[in-house]
RNA sequence: GCACCCGUAGUGAAAUGGAUAUCACAACAGUCUUCGGAACUGUCGUUGGGGGUUCGAAUCCCUCCGGGUGCACCA
């Protein structure tokens, strides 16, 4: 439709002997200003030395002369010289029919057809709590994955996990300490659920207790050398149980990873790349070396290539690979793991933006062909009203506890429905996750989210459960229609055009925008608008009604709404239960 | 100090350079209408300050004020 209107405008202008290379056509924010709008008259008024309003009038005369297509009902000048297009009743009913004919694919586009894309996100560390920051990364990464999938890409989900480092030693110290206490009672067995606490205890001891610090450093060394039987056993056990616990969470959250990368595996790969590129001449000037020695460490002086970047240490003076080296190894390894990859997306908090730029610069010097195939998507932080949250400080809200709490609140609310216990649990979890995911995804991902427990579990208005509710309600209407044997019919439309219809056909455009910008919130905002329009339609119309000849159209519209809502929720990583 | 990000109703957010700045929560007033009240209808209220570019600025440029993050051996 967009293309047709643009051509119409172009032809009209041609008849007036005006040429415009780029015609801007947009949807007016306010539906009363039409379905499409163009500013050409305003844009060219000055260069042709005419009053924009008069010019717009003339353009409209030409458009009306050319318009043989009955999809446009009305064209008029508004404001300071906008030309507004109102689509016809028939157009909207056709778009409803289109949705009904191909519900699963409605909203998809082919902008990334044939592309292979990997998305890395979530990235929790074994032995550390999975906190709401990970929930945030997961919600965003999963949504981006689904968006690019809807745009035709083949996609691989990846998770990068820090299985080595001081945090592991801290957690193990905490566990051993805990064991000492329990030994007095003659029992000692570790519990999976204690690892998070053990980490917090260990981290606290590391900072406040010099003796503990010494012990932890020793444990760290033993972990590195792998020469202590007991430490090795605890490590293997702890690694296994935390990974299993994460897996349960992913399942609940609706994520299935294709690749897992472990930090310990990246160290050697990265180190090798660093070694290969020591003092290597790059670029027009021969004195440019990627990695060089400085104060006993091996560094990359990125500011040589870009004044906005800075020097970072890749191999420490103790000859240990730093985070940057592992990240370098990881980035390159991904291309090997997923051959033919066109784009590698990494989702992290925006604190990491500057490191990642430096690492990306190094990679682009080593592998120039990768330069345009890497994309870093950064998001803000979850903040508590009390300030910065840190897993070391222990003032974390774990993902698990949050999900449980939200689910319990919903269970209380669900008492009036007739479900088996199993169903009730399942739905409460789905609704709870929807509340959390929506509260993350409804806003632009760059900014911080001030986390307020009360608000995150709100079920009213601008919330995930509201969207699910509108879907469930539509669904029960459709059930009723089936019982009454009234079939949907997109041709039985009444003269009136409903607001929902004016929104439904825009879904594919919204998906395309959201996917090409990697910004899920456009879909979230769109869905809330559609849900509201549908609720309003629902409130003002009796949909299933034998007396009403347009009832079957209203049912068709309800189907169309439910399909769009279901697909849209899917893109946010939220399931749409038929009942709740 | 340098770099990057941000500043929109009481609160949390939205707005490919466009029209009367949108939405929810809160507050207030209604609907209690047979299909699910986790709802619907209405009222109230906002672009940090100052310049500039533009027919047109929350958006782009400059500057000031306020906040966040990052800047060499942690990840």
Other beta carbons within 10 angstroms of residue A38's beta carbon come to 25
Within 7 Å of a protein beta carbon, the nucleotides of strand B are: 3-6, 12-16, 18-20, 22-26, 33-41, 54-56, 68-75
ipTM score assigned to the predicted complex: 0.93
Chain A 333-352 residues in 7 Å CB range of strand B: 350-352
Characterize the bridge pairing of strands A36-38 and A72-78. unpaired
Cα A384 to Cα A380: distance, rounded to the nearest angstrom: 13
Q: What is the mean pLDDT of each run of 10 residues along chain A (580 residues)?
A: 87 88 86 90 85 90 81 88 92 94 95 96 91 90 96 96 90 81 51 79 86 90 87 91 93 96 93 90 64 92 87 92 94 96 94 91 92 91 57 62 86 83 92 91 84 71 91 95 94 92 93 93 93 92 92 95 96 94
* Gap from A299 CA to B27 C1', Å: 58
Chain A 170-189 residues in 7 Å CB range of strand B: none
- Nucleic strand B under 7 Å from the C-beta of A466: yes
- Nucleic strand B under 7 Å from the C-beta of A532: yes
- Nucleic strand B under 7 Å from the C-beta of A39: yes
Cα A529 to Cα A568: distance, rounded to the nearest angstrom: 12
pLDDT of residue A79: 84
Looking at A136-180, which runs of residues are DSSP E strands?
Answer: 154-161
A122: left (phi over 0), alpha (psi -120 to 50) or beta: left
Nucleotide nearest to A537 (CA to C1'): B40
Cα A274 to Cα A272: distance, rounded to the nearest angstrom: 5
Chain A 424-443 residues in 7 Å CB range of strand B: 431, 442-443
Cα A206 to Cα A215: distance, rounded to the nearest angstrom: 9
User: What is the full DSSP assignment across A293-336?
Assistant: EETTEEEEEGGGT-TT--EEEEE-TTS-B-HHHHHHHHHHHHHH
- Nucleic strand B under 7 Å from the C-beta of A373: no
- Nucleic strand B under 7 Å from the C-beta of A449: yes
SS3 A108: coil
* Gap from A451 CA to B37 C1', Å: 28
pLDDT of residue A60: 92
Chain A 557-576 residues in 7 Å CB range of strand B: none
- Nucleic strand B under 7 Å from the C-beta of A460: yes
Nucleotide nearest to A309 (CA to C1'): B3
- Nucleic strand B under 7 Å from the C-beta of A409: no
- Nucleic strand B under 7 Å from the C-beta of A541: yes
Nucleotide nearest to A267 (CA to C1'): B75
- Nucleic strand B under 7 Å from the C-beta of A310: yes
- Nucleic strand B under 7 Å from the C-beta of A522: yes
- pTM listed for this prediction: 0.93
Distances (CA, A) of A110 to A118, A152, A503: 17, 5, 21
User: What is the full DSSP assignment across A503-555?
Assistant: HHTTHHHHHHHHHHHT-THHHHHHHHHHHHHHHHHHHH---S-TT-TTHHHHH
Please say whether the beta carbons of A240 and A177 come within 8 A. Answer: no
């Amino acid at each position: 439709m967009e293309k047709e209107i643009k051509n119409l405008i172009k032809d009209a202008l041609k008849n007036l002997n005006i040429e415009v290379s780029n015609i801007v056509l947009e949807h007016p924010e306010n539906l009363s200003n039409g379905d499409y709008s163009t500013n050409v008259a305003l844009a060219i008024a000055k260069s042709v030395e005419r009053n924009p309003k008069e010019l717009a009038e003339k353009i409209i005369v030409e458009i009306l002369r050319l318009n043989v297509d009955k999809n446009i009902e009305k064209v008029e000048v508004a404001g300071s010289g906008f030309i507004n297009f109102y689509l016809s009743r028939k157009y909207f009913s056709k778009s409803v029919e289109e949705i009904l004919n191909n519900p699963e694919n409605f909203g998809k586009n082919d902008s990334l057809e044939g592309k292979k894309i990997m998305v890395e996100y979530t990235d929790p560390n074994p032995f550390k709590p999975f906190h709401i920051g990970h929930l945030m990364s997961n919600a965003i990464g999963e949504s981006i994955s689904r968006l690019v999938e809807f745009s035709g890409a083949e996609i691989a989900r990846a998770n990068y996990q820090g299985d080595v480092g001081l945090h592991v030693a801290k957690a193990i110290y905490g566990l051993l300490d805990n064991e000492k206490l329990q030994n007095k009672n003659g029992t000692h067995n570790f519990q999976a659920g204690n690892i998070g606490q053990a980490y917090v205890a260990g981290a606290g001891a590391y900072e406040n207790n010099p003796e503990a610090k010494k012990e932890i450093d020793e444990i760290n060394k033993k972990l590195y050398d792998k020469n202590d039987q007991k430490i090795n056993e605890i490590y293997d056990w702890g690694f296994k149980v935390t990974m299993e616990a994460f897996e349960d969470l992913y399942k609940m959250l609706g994520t299935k990873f294709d690749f897992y990368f472990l930090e310990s595996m990246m160290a050697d790969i990265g180190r090798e790349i660093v070694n290969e590129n020591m003092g290597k001449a790059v670029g027009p000037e021969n004195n440019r070396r990627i990695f060089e020695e400085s104060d006993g460490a091996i560094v990359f002086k990125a500011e040589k290539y870009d004044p906005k970047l800075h020097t970072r240490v890749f191999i420490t003076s103790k000859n240990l690979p730093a985070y940057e080296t592992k990240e370098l190894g990881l980035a390159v390894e991904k291309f090997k793991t997923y051959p033919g990859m066109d784009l590698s997306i990494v989702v992290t908090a925006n604190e990491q933006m500057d490191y990642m730029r430096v690492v990306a610069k190094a990679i682009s010097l080593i592998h120039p062909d990768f330069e345009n195939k890497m994309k870093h998507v950064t998001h803000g932080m979850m903040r508590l009203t009390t300030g910065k949250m840190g897993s070391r400080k222990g003032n974390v809200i774990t993902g698990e506890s949050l999900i449980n709490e939200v689910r319990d609140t919903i269970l209380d609310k669900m008492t009036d429905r007739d479900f088996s216990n199993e169903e009730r649990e399942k739905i409460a979890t789905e609704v709870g996750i929807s509340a959390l995911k929506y509260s993350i995804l409804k806003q632009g991902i760059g900014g911080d989210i001030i986390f307020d427990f009360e608000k995150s579990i709100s079920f009213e208005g601008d919330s995930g459960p509201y969207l699910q509710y509108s879907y469930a309600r539509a669904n029960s209407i459709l059930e009723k229609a089936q019982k009454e044997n009234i079939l949907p019919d997109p041709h039985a439309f009444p003269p009136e055009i409903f607001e929902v219809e004016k929104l439904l056909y825009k879904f594919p455009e919204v998906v395309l925008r959201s996917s090409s910008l990697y910004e899920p919130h456009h879909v979230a905002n769109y869905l809330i608008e559609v849900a509201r329009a549908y609720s309003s339609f629902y409130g003002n119309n009796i949909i299933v009604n034998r007396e009403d000849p347009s009832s079957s159209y209203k049912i068709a519209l309800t189907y169309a709404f439910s399909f769009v809502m279901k697909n849209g929720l899917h893109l946010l990583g939220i399931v749409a239960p038929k009942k709740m």
